[in-house]
A and B are shown apart, each in its own frame.
Chain A
Amino acid sequence: SYELTQPPSVSVSPGQTASITCSGDKLGDKNVCWYQQKPGQSPVMVIYQDTKRPSGIPERFSGSNSGNTAILTVTGTQAMDEADYYCQAWDSNSVVFGAGTKLTVL
């Protein structure tokens, strides 16, 4: 079965840039979405179709996807961005989520 691999944790200082990777075989051929989940809350989509940002999501969130790796980038990270982030893709008619990355803003 298809797998997406994320680092368990990423740390960043306020105002700096955080990059969260998501790796999978030929992932660049698929559409990748990213979700943010804060404790006790439902997930929120922050990036879809690799690079698109839904309305209401700050411009500091961006995405890319090429080869075997998709990347979620948070530029000028703020304390409110501390959360778990999940990448997601479809493989045939099944959905795959990465295991999630905890972003810590130190």
Chain B
Amino acid sequence: EVQLVESGGGLVQPGGSLTLSCAASGFTFSSYTMSWVRQAPGEGLEWVSYISSGSSSINYADSVKGRFTISRDNAKNLLYLQMNSLRDVDTAVYYCVRVVGASRHFDYWGQGILVTVSS
């Protein structure tokens, strides 16, 4: 069974930093592109970043470019999102998502982890 479990969320002050982790199990993690998607309270889904299976291809949404860094450890089956210079608009539930197929669809989603940026 595919499982994606996020951790590392919580309350952080504006300008602060936080690193999210996603533990993957039930599939060959090193073979899949992974992504982070977030959802602000009461709002829609917003793509944040993706990283290819071997980390050779990475991209970010303009809203987080230069502040967030995605990475992965295929030996440990872990996906990360390092978030710096956090703003109140970054407050959201962050989902770890598996990307699959030629059409690169998001087939499995984690349960999500809440990040609150507030003083």
Which residues of A come within 8 Å of B, CB atoms?
1, 31, 33, 35, 37, 42-45, 48-49, 54, 84, 86, 88, 90, 93-100
Which residues of B come within 8 Å of A, CB atoms?
35, 37, 44-47, 50, 57, 59, 61-62, 95, 101-107, 109-112
Q: How far is the CB of A95 from chain B (nearest CB, A)?
A: 4
A49 engages B47 (CB within 8 Å):
no
CB contact under 8 A between A48 and B105, given known A35-B45, A94-B61: yes
A33 engages B47 (CB within 8 Å):
no
CB contact under 8 A between A48 and B109, given known A42-B95, A94-B61: no
A97 engages B105 (CB within 8 Å):
no
Residues of A within 8 A of B110 (CB): 42
Q: List 26 A-B contacts (CB under 8 A).
A: A1-B62, A31-B104, A33-B103, A42-B110, A42-B112, A43-B45, A43-B95, A43-B106, A45-B105, A48-B101, A48-B103, A49-B102, A86-B44, A90-B103, A93-B50, A93-B57, A94-B47, A94-B59, A95-B47, A95-B50, A96-B47, A97-B37, A97-B44, A97-B45, A99-B44, A100-B44
What 8 pairs across the A-B complex have the smallest Cβ distances? A31-B103, A95-B47, A48-B105, A42-B109, A100-B44, A33-B105, A97-B45, A49-B103
A93 to B33, CA, bound (A): 12
Q: Among B57, B59, B102, B105, which residue has the most Cβ atoms of chain A within 10 A?
A: B105
Cross-interface CB contact of B107 among A31, A54, A94, cutoff 8 Å:
A54
